[in-house]
């Protein structure tokens, strides 16, 4: 066989050549527009120049150094790639191993393998909080001044009051976000149970480790004025004098109440990480204020799932990026239901709305948060609104209860014991000075909010374990159900044939019924049909175990 000729027709060849010329012309034109020129050749050192040999030697040495540096960088890159590959291989191997073990082993073995928990897990949060409570001599329970009752945890207060040696102080933070009269009411209400300090922490704080750019508009070295820090330090110093030893002060509370901000304010430097997202602090952190006092920063208290939707929305450790849209929307709905509708409309400058979804759509349109095709981005607006309400953006306030009713774990003796070590007169005077010095929002601009009361929290690690085990059992049961479904789907051919024949029988009976309406058959014909039907069923039902695996000739249709 001859090979196919590669010759082209002249017309085709000239056409290709023309196209190539046009392409080259286009490239040259674009290059001219860009103004790119060929790189100039290095003229080198002129022969008349003094110390020519020395200069050439230095240039060569520089070149060698650069080559060595490049080689080093290349080797480092290769090493990093190898490390990454090894880590990925290990992870994949671990995943495959877990899958293999998960299918074979029971729920108990799974619980054993999952003993090592992440830092983000609720169990580790509880463990770290327990460490702080055990190590501290004085416990500061930080409350958000906008909803102080909602920030109180009865389980924590009971644990501290029943310990005997420890003292509990309430720190009313974010006092600049509530009206003056409301703050005074809350101070009068809370001081009857525990010593209460009015506090306003610093919002901007310089981090010594952070290098700021010169052109940055915001100067982080300028901190906003803080109030109540001197009062709190005086109280702690008085307690040191009475104890005649150095003390450790644990700072505890629900997420986003300002625990780390208080420590930073007392220290005067950004010692602890602070952020709008909940659960930034994940482990116990020790900060030395002076020779006699150590501050212990703790992770947030975990809100109990039995709490109301409002308490879970404002107090639970939710990562708004990872959490489902249903949880976020439910939280927003609970917040809006506990607020004055008119004030919310005035604050967001939004017209009247029927429900939460309509409110979020209006807010999304106003803030121009739209998806493709101009659809309002409800999920992201809801997340933003939750961050605003837990952060220090919105000014809202709740009223203290009308009648003072002590919790069951608090008695008059316990209250006297908690208030005994502190000078309450000085504390009251200091609180009055902070109230007089601070600027407050007007009652009209602050949204009236209905508090859901004290929020239950889980402090004991065992309580979290029980919840985790329930979820594990749920996962195991789900896996079993999936396996059963797979077994059902992978039926034998014989079972499928049985199903087909049953369907055929049903069709026959249906047709027979239709036929009866038109013409009534004779008794002999009925008997024959019944006998045929019974024989076909008996063929399938009376199969032995040995015949199941054998080939069924009855279903071999041509």
State the DSSP code for 164: S
Q: Tell me if 180 is assigned to some domain.
A: yes
Q: State residue 113's pLDDT score.
A: 45
From the list 296, 313, 293, the residue with the least C-alpha distance to 262 is: 296
Q: Is the sign of the CA dihedral 92, 95, 99, 104 positive or negative?
A: positive
Q: Are residues 344 and 235 in the same domain?
A: no
> Would you call 275 helix, strand, or coil by DSSP?
coil
Token output for 224: 């906003």
Bridge partners (DSSP) of residue 296 are 250, 286
> 431 lies in a domain?
yes
State the alpha helices, DSSP H only, in 105-206. Answer: 107-113, 122-135, 148-151, 154-163, 180-190
pLDDT in the model for residue 282: 77
Residue 215 lies in a domain: no
CATH code of the domain containing 403: 3.40.50.300
The pLDDT value recorded for residue 460 is 78
Predicted local confidence at residue 276, as pLDDT: 67
- Choose the final residue of a domain: 365, 390, 415: 390
List, in order, residues 6 or more apart from 494 with CB less than 8 Å away: 540, 543, 548, 552
What is the DSSP pairing of strand 293-297 with strand 285-288? Answer: antiparallel
Is residue 233 domain-shared with residue 353, that is, in the same domain? no
Q: Domain check: are 385 and 407 in the same one?
A: no
What the block records as the tokens of 26 is 């286009």
- Buried-state track 104-128, b at ≥16 Cβ within 10 A, e below 16: eeeeeebeeeeeeeeeeebbbbbbb
Cα–Cα distance, 86 to 69 (Å, whole number): 26
Structure tokens at 213: 């750019």
Q: 459: which residues sit within 8 A by CB, 6+ positions away?
A: 126, 129, 130, 133, 153, 155, 156, 159, 301
Order of strands, sheet of 247-252, starting from the edge strand that comes earlier in the sequence: 196-198, 167-173, 138-144, 247-252, 293-297, 285-288
Please tell me whether residues 125 and 272 are part of one structural domain: yes
Predicted confidence (pLDDT) per residue in 201-237, tens digit? 877 554 444 444 444 444 443 346 788 888 888 888 8
| Of the candidates 254, 259, 396, 255, the residue with the CA atom closest to the CA atom of residue 335 | 396
Nearest to 315 by CA among 176, 139, 129, 144: 144
User: How many Cβ atoms are within 10 Å of 273's Cβ, its own excluded?
Assistant: 13
**Contact indicator for 146, 396 with CB cutoff of 8 Å:** yes
Is 335 found in the same domain as 289?
A: no
Q: Are residues 295 and 352 in the same domain?
A: no
Question: Are 169 and 141 a contacting pair, CB within 8 Å?
Answer: yes
CB within 8 A of 332, min separation 6: which ones?
313, 356, 360, 382, 385, 386
Clarify whether residues 245 and 233 are in a common domain: yes
pLDDT value, residue 394? 86
Q: Looking at the domain assignment, is residue 360 inside a domain?
A: yes
For the four alpha carbons of 441, 444, 445 and 449, in that order, the dihedral sign comes to positive
Within this chain, do residues 269 and 330 fall inside the same structural domain, yes or no? Answer: no
Specify which residues 278 forms β-bridges with.
none
pTM of the predicted model as reported, rounded to 2 decimal places: 0.59
Do residue 288 and residue 314 come from a single domain? no
The confidence score (pLDDT) of residue 540 equals 44
Residue 46 counted as domain residue: no
- Asked if residue 347 belongs to a domain, the reply is yes
In a domain, 338, yes or no: yes
Could you tell me if residue 212 is inside a domain?
Answer: no
How many separate domains does the chain show? 2
Show the low-confidence residues of the chain (pLDDT under 70).
1, 36-37, 103-120, 204-224, 276-277, 279, 317-325, 463-558
Write the pLDDT tens digit of every residue in 437-478: 888 888 888 888 888 888 888 887 776 644 443 334 434 444
Assess whether 283 and 155 both reside in one domain: yes
Domain ranges, residue 231: 119-205+221-305+399-440
CA distances from 168 to 141, 247, 407, 417 (A): 7, 13, 15, 10
Which CATH number do you get for residue 377? 1.10.1580.10
Same domain, 192 and 323: no
Q: Among the three residues 329, 357, 390, which one is the final residue of a domain in this structure?
A: 390
Residues 276 and 197 in one domain: yes
């Amino acid at each position: 066989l001859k090979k196919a000729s590669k010759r082209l027709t002249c017309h085709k060849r000239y056409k290709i050549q023309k196209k190539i010329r046009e392409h080259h012309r286009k490239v040259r034109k674009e290059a001219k527009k860009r103004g790119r020129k060929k790189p100039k050749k290095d003229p080198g050192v002129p022969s008349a120049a003094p110390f020519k040999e020395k200069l050439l030697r230095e240039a060569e040495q520089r070149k060698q150094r650069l080559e060595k540096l490049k080689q080093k960088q290349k080797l480092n890159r290769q090493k990093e790639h190898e490390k990454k590959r090894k880590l990925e291989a290990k992870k994949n191997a671990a995943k495959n191993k877990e899958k293999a073990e998960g299918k074979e082993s029971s729920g108990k073995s799974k619980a054993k393998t999952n003993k090592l928990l992440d830092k983000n897990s609720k169990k580790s949060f509880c463990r770290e909080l327990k460490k702080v409570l055990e190590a501290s001599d004085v416990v500061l329970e930080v409350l958000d001044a906008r909803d102080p009752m909602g920030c109180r945890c009865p389980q924590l207060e009971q644990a501290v009051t029943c310990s005997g040696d420890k003292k509990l102080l309430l720190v009313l933070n974010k006092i600049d976000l509530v009206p003056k009269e409301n703050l005074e009411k809350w101070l009068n209400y809370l001081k009857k149970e525990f010593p209460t300090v009015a506090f306003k922490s610093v919002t901007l704080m310089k981090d010594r480790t952070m290098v700021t750019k010169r052109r940055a508009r915001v100067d982080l070295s300028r901190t906003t004025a803080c109030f109540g820090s001197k009062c709190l330090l005086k109280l702690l110093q008085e307690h040191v004098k009475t104890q005649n030893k150095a003390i450790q002060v644990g700072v505890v509370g629900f997420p986003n109440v300002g625990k780390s901000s208080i420590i930073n304010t007392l220290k005067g430097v950004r010692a602890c990480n602070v952020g709008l997202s909940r659960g930034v602090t994940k482990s116990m952190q020790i900060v030395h204020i002076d020779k006699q006092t150590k501050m212990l920063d703790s992770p947030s208290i975990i809100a109990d799932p039995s709490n109301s939707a409002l308490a879970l929305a404002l107090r639970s450790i939710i990562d708004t990026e990872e959490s489902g849209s249903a949880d976020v929307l439910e939280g927003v709905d609970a917040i809006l239901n506990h607020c004055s509708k008119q004030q919310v409309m005035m604050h967001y400058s939004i017209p009247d709305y029927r429900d939460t979804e309509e409110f979020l759509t209006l807010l999304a349109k106003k803030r121009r948060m739209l998806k493709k095709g101009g659809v309002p981005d409800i999920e992201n607006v809801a997340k933003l609104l939750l961050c605003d309400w837990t952060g220090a953006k919105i000014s809202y306030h709740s009223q203290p209860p009308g009648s003072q009713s002590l919790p069951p774990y608090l008695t008059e003796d316990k209250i006297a014991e908690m208030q005994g070590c502190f000078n309450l007169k000085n504390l009251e005077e200091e609180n009055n000075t902070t109230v007089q010095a601070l600027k407050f929002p007007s009652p009209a601009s602050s949204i009236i909010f209905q508090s859901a009361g004290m929020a239950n929290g889980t402090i004991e690690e065992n309580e979290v374990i029980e919840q985790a085990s329930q979820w594990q059992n749920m996962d195991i049961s789900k896996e079993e159900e999936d396996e059963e479904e797979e077994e059902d789907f992978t039926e034998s051919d014989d079972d499928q044939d049985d199903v087909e024949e049953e369907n055929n029988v049903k069709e026959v009976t249906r047709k027979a019924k239709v036929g009866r309406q038109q013409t009534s058959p004779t008794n002999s014909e009925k008997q024959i049909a019944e006998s045929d039907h019974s024989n076909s069923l008996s063929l399938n039902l009376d199969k032995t175990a040995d015949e199941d695996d054998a080939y069924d000739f009855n279903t071999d249709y041509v």
